[in-house]
Amino acid sequence: MTTSQPSTTELAAQGQLFVELLATEDDAVDARVLDAAAELIGEYGEHVVTMTDIGERSGVGRATIFRRFGSKQTVIDRMLQRELRKFVVDLINASAECETRSDVLTELLVQAVSFARTNPVVRHLVASEPERLVQFARSEESASMLIARALILGLVKRFEGPSTAANDMEHVADVVAHLAIGYALVPNSSIDLTDEDHLRRIIRAILSGL
């Protein structure tokens, strides 16, 4: 049985919805738990950290954490979503003043590389447990690639014009999503990724024809 893929219009609509959903905030108790989980996993890694550790760091009782989240895996998944939310919010702010579609895509790649390099959780997972990120990226359940393409299309939707080919933009979104994930997982590069202005110039030159 073949599963039909969403159209570009549907993906763009999903991307806008995804942006709006990520803009929501966790309540104060959940935020303390998720912030503690992010700090601990950024320091020690996912496999070492326990629910007891998270409770002690957050100041929230272990029983309360289990009642609210159910399992350590749920805490980790919610924590990753929270870290992703931070990235998306930063990306939205960075792209708000972009004047062209290529400018938005440039900022997305620059912000993605910066996020992977500076976020403690992602940095630790890339260095010590990259298989966790690979698993997340390839999971059909998380649909991370579909979500990434939808997010990109949602961000560039305002630049669509009569000459915009729907399939072309979906393919561009797919390439940009793979590039962002690739640089996150394999940060070794001939480009100095710590120099955002230089990186931005290189990416903008490549994307200037879009």
- The per-residue pLDDT for 2 is 43
Query: Rounded to the nearest 5°, which phi and psi values hold at 113?
Result: -65, -45
For residue 102, the one-letter residue type is S
The Cβ of residue 185 has, within 10 Å, a number of other Cβ atoms equal to: 15
Q: What residue segments make up the domains of the chain, in order of their start?
A: 8-24+80-207
What value does the mean pLDDT take over residues 77-83? 84
Q: How confident is the model at residue 25 (pLDDT cuts 50, 70, 90)?
A: confident
Query: Rounded to the nearest 5°, which phi and psi values hold at 70?
Result: 90, -40
- The per-residue pLDDT for 182 is 85
| pLDDT tens for each residue of 151-205 | 788 888 777 665 555 567 788 888 888 888 888 888 888 888 889 899 999 988 8
Annotation: CATH topology of 8-24+80-207: Tetracycline Repressor; domain 2 (1.10.357)
Q: Measuring CA to CA, which residue among 133, 135, 87 is closest to residue 112?
A: 87
More confident position, 56 or 5? 56
Decide: 137 and 178 in contact? Cβ < 8 Å: no
Instruction: Report the alpha-carbon distance of residue 93 to residue 155 in Å, rounded.
Output: 11
DSSP characters over 84-99: HHHHHHHHHHHHTT--
Instruction: Report the alpha-carbon distance of residue 63 to residue 154 in Å, rounded.
Output: 39
Tokens of 60: 């929230």
What value does the mean pLDDT take over residues 63-70? 94
| pLDDT tens for each residue of 101-155 | 888 889 889 988 888 888 888 888 888 878 877 777 777 665 677 777 887 888 8
Non-local CB neighbours of 77 within 8 Å, separated by 6+ positions: none
